[in-house]
Amino acid sequence: MLKVKTPKTAKAKRETEHRAPKLVENSKKTLILQGTKTSKVLNAVLTEIYHLKKDRAVRYTRKNDNIRPFESGGETSLEFFSLKTDCSLFVYGSHSKKRPDNIVIGRTFDHHIYDLVELGIENFKSMQSFSYDKKLTPRVGSKPLIVFIGEGFEKGTEGVEELKHLKEILLDLLRGEVVETLNLAGIDRAYVVTALSSNRVYFTHCGLRLKKSGTKLPRMELVEVGPSMDFVVRRHRLSNDSLRKQAMRTAPEQTKKKVKNVSQDEIQGKIGKIYIPDQKVGDMALPNKPKGLKRERREAKIKNEVNGHLSKKQK
């Protein structure tokens, strides 16, 4: 039987509550790590991805010799690192003669491997190789605009399964925090992903320049700020049906319980109705008998006697 340890410090309790399941989950963090052998190009690619995701990313620079995401038993260390860092996305880089400059992008559910896609890197250009106005440099943590160009990304029979899977993973990797409203002036970057063939994709990172257009909406210009590279889809693995069904489960909507005699008004706000029962003041017992009450009773008694005499005379 496993022993359940409870947090003993306030910091541990806060961290446990932060990692607990929620109706609205936290923004996803990305774990970036590498295998035993890498190349100069691959190290530069992992560094550039880390800079793009610097606000929500964890970078491991040590070599890991026992990570093989597509092999059974080779994902144990990867799942352990995911649990340790609380990351639901990962980018794993490796280099070999059979698969040079290779990266594996994957997602996890409950810190278990959910799905994977393996990409080869070609025609890589770093940020330093682009010259542009430094004022257009995207800010850390800003919300990006993501554009997918090509029929291969479309849903249905026209799309390619590998490219549709790659689109889902790139959206999770690059979108940042999920927000309900967005200020147009706060969008300062765009990721452009173009399908060149059924297994080749061109990826580039651009800055946005706002110019006057004569209307309320400004005209946008794309300025390439890097990095840019070609992705060659090599292997991909979808999630199994049982894990997908468990991951897609949503919590039931919690409807507010109706409160009686309470309504909302746009101008007056909350309006409530209060029920007050009959007080029956006339039947209440008074603590003392005031003089006015005695006089009223005396006059009423005299009046009743006079009425009684008049009724007798009439008979």
Listed residue (196, 38, 14, 13) closest to 102, CA to CA: 38
pLDDT given for residue 313 in this prediction:
55
pLDDT tens-digit profile, the chain (315 residues): 456 678 889 988 888 887 777 777 778 899 999 999 999 999 999 999 999 998 889 999 999 988 999 998 889 999 999 999 989 999 999 999 999 999 999 999 988 999 999 999 999 999 999 988 888 888 887 889 999 999 999 887 677 899 999 999 999 999 888 888 888 778 889 999 999 999 999 999 999 888 888 888 888 889 999 899 999 999 999 998 898 888 888 777 666 778 888 888 888 888 988 888 887 777 776 666 555 566 677 777 778 777 766 665 555
Residue 311 confidence (pLDDT): 64
pLDDT value, residue 1: 47
Residue 64, burial from CB neighbour count under 10 angstroms (0-12, 13-18, 19+): middle
Q: What is the distance between the alpha carbons of residues 174 and 45, in angstroms, rounded to a whole number? A: 15
The whole-number pLDDT of residue 288 equals 63
Closest to 86 measured CA to CA, from 56, 66, 49: 56
CB 164 within 8 A of CB 153: yes
> What is the per-residue DSSP string for 52-84?
HTGGGEEEEEEE-SS--TTSTTTTHHHHHHHHH
